[in-house]
Chains A and B, each alone.
Chain A
Amino acid sequence: MENVLNLFHGFSVILSWYNLGMMAVGLILGVIVGVLPGLGGPNGVAILLPLTFTMSPTSAIVMLSCIYWGSLFAGAITSILFNIPGESHSVATTFDGYPLAQQGRAGEALTASFTGSFFGALFSVLMITFLAPLVANFALHFGPPEFFAVYFLTFASFIGTGKDTAKTVIALMLGFGLAQIGMDNVSGTLRLTFGWSELLRGVDFLVVVIGLFGVAEILVSMEEGLKFEGVHAKINATVVWQTWKKLPKYWLTLLSGAVIGAWMGFKPGGATAASFMSYGLAKRFSKNGDKFGTGELEGVLAPETAAHGSGCAALLPMMALGIPGSATAAVLLGGLMIWGLQPGPLLFVEQKDFVWGLVASMYLSNVVGLVIVLFTVPLFAAILRIPFSIIAPVIVVVCAVGAYTVNNAMFNIWVMLLFGVIGYVFKKLDYPLAPLILALVLGDATEVSFRQAILGSQGALSVFFSNWLVGAMMAAGLLLAFSPAMALAWGKFRQALAR
């Protein structure tokens, strides 16, 4: 009951013309950012973050989170109309979305995917409303060892679920390394600066995000020689209504997509996995499973519901534990710290306006977002028809401006270019980028919690197994981190047995 009251309080916080305006601006920018190649959720938020330094944290998070929702909605537009997945979590949407568009049913496919997204988001927001305070309450009793264990578990889950263990570990550790550059915040020693005064204040994660996701994406797009051959979409009230009438039939797909999304989003790095998992499940259990891939409405609903759901759910651990569930959530988390808020369970006690304003805005903005995208799809699709020779330099300029404004330094733009090249190579060689960003954002907090825990125990590592909670988390983390190695050993063992 208290949650509902809090939620109403949240609505009272955000229901001002200013905040509603920010919401609309954020949503529209988000869709634009999501549609354009080279920009996406994490990058869009990172570029605009410096402009929010002077805003109140609540208005700022409302706008930036709306960019996130907008970009999640937009993934479907490029996938369905152009067969280009804007981000990896909308790959599964192209399987049935593009065939539908080719059959002249683009309007239907878009309506279904937006509605599915909306449903997934709603489910996740409901979960956040009722679960986040519980998680935060529970986490209030955490000390440094517990927090370190949570961070450890997060990183370990990347290793355990990553496609390529060695590359995931490298990405994580490079992120850590980047976070360590500059002044050590415990002893004040300078480290990893190699005598470079520009590195004194460290490498800002926003600049890294802009380079890795923005500039690198442009380089990859150039190499692929993107030619946008889009299908025209007509969406009008009749199409929307006709599609909506069909949707209740697919309630099971919607529900399973939403549940998968909420569950995978809670864990870090889930949206892509969630969309594929949901698509696979729908294909397996649908009556028309064998027709998947040729243009089934269900094949669009399933991945979109899960992807958007998991994107929303990613904010739960971000707010309650200070651990982002996705790359964009990681950037938002960095924003929290910049606005002077300490992410984590205390947020629910000390910053009620902020937390519940954000939750309330998630309800509202997903409704507004649905309406906006339904009415403006042709407009946004037109953006993709702007020649790439205009879009590419403009995006580089926007990225450069974004990188510069992080702390008004030319050096940042150079760093951005460097990470653009690194990101291009990493993308081509399948190094995962999300763990790198996550480790970069959480690196400091991880190290500090480790050192505090160790200080408390006078140097004994046993502090990480001193009670059942921290012990269980550490054990689970270790298990996950070493699961690829164990699987390998088990495989070898069975081979030997077979021989």
Chain B
Amino acid sequence: MEQKQTQERPRSVRLTYQAAEMVVAVAIFLIGVAMMMDGYRVGMGWAPEGPEAGYFPFRTGAIIGISSLVVFLRALLGKHRNHELFVSRDRFRQVLYVLIPAVLYVLVTQFIGIYVASALFIGGFMRVMARFNWLKVILVSVCISAALFYAFEIQFMVPLPKGPLESLFGY
């Protein structure tokens, strides 16, 4: 498991833990502000019959804002600033290898249904990432999709998104 960290190499962009901490804190701060604004919009005060709809969102947002400010300042000025690399380029590439195909997978599911998309996603991943031979790729991906189809459409009677291929078979 212990791989040598290939840090330090790319000089151009260096996202440290400190920087990541601060970026996330800012994002959370903005969420807090958005909540406060929406809470204010629907009424954050006290109506005769008790708190208004925005009472909780406004205060929740305020606490989020304050806490994220604490996290931000601590990352900026705190004693234990962490200047280590948040994620090295190589490692992050690994993450993107899953994330980007996963996004594409969801996108494609909307058009061709989840079963075909799943087969393509699993098969493509196996082929590109690990160079399985085509027989294995097709066998595994089609079998898993077929098993899903059997389980959900036939056994549980829970319809999942389907596309042109399924309608060809009358589903």
Interface of A with B (CB < 8 Å)? 50-51, 83-84, 166-167, 169-170, 173-174, 176-177, 180, 184, 186-187, 189-192, 194, 215, 218-219, 222-227, 229, 387, 389-390, 392-394, 396-397, 400-401, 404-405, 408, 410, 413-414, 417, 420-421, 424-425, 428-429, 447, 450-451, 454-455, 459
- Determine whether the beta carbon of B140 is less than 8 Å from that of A191: no
Q: Find chain A residues with CB under 8 A from B71 CB.
A: 166-167, 170
Return the contact of A400 from the options B53, B94, B106, B125 (Cβ within 8 A).
Answer: B106
Which of B32, B51, B152 has the most CB atoms of chain A within a 10 A radius of its CB?
B51
Contact A459 B38 (CB under 8 A): no
B53: contacting residue among A189, A194, A223, A424, CB under 8 A: A189
- State the Cβ distance, A349 to closest chain B Cβ, in Å: 29
List the B side residues contacting A225 at CB < 8 Å: 3, 91, 94
* Interchain CA distance A225-B91 in the complex, whole Å: 8
B67, B103, B121 interface centre (most CB from chain A within 10 Å):
B67
> Does B21 lie within 8 Å of A429, measured CB to CB?
yes
- Residue of B46, B95, B144 near A459 (CB, 8 A) is B46
Question: Nearest A residue to B17 by beta-carbon distance?
Answer: A429
Top-7 shortest CB links A-B:
A389-B130, A189-B53, A184-B53, A393-B125, A389-B129, A166-B70, A393-B122
Q: Using C-beta atoms within 8 Å of the partner chain, give the interface range for chain B.
A: 35 or more
| Interface residue from A51, A169, A451 paired with B51 (Cβ < 8 Å) | A451
Given contacts A51-B156, A191-B39, A192-B38, contact A401 B148 (CB under 8 A): yes
Question: Are B148 and A428 touching (Cβ within 8 A)?
Answer: no
CB distance A192 to B57 under 8 Å?
yes
List of A residues within 8 angstroms of B102 by Cβ: 215, 396, 417, 420
Q: By DSSP majority rule, is chain B's interface helix, strand, loop, or mixed?
A: helix
Q: A400 and B126: CB pair below 8 A?
A: no
Interface residues of B (CB under 8 A from A): 1, 3, 17, 20-21, 24, 28, 31-32, 34-35, 38-39, 42-43, 46, 48-54, 56-57, 60-61, 63-64, 67-68, 70-71, 74, 86-87, 91-92, 94-95, 97-99, 101-103, 105-106, 109-110, 114, 118, 121-122, 125-126, 129-130, 132, 140, 144, 148, 152, 156, 158-161
Known: A169-B63, A218-B98. A194 touches B34 (CB 8 A): yes
Residues of A within 8 Å of B34, CB to CB, are 194
User: What CA separation (Å) do A425 and B21 show in the bound complex?
Assistant: 9
Q: Cβ of B122 and Cβ of A390 under 8 Å apart?
A: yes
Q: Please, how many angstroms separate the alpha-carbon atoms of A173 and B68 in the complex?
A: 11
- Give every chain A residue within 8 A of B20 (Cβ-Cβ): 425, 428-429
**A227 cross-chain contacts in B, Cβ below 8 A:** 1
A390 contacts B126, CB within 8 Å? yes
Q: B24 — which chain A residues lie within 8 A by C-beta?
A: 425, 429
Across the interface, do A421 and B57 meet the contact criterion of CB distance under 8 Å? no
Q: Given that A222-B94, A404-B114 are contacting pairs, would A177 and B49 also be in contact in the complex, using a CB cutoff of 8 Å?
A: no
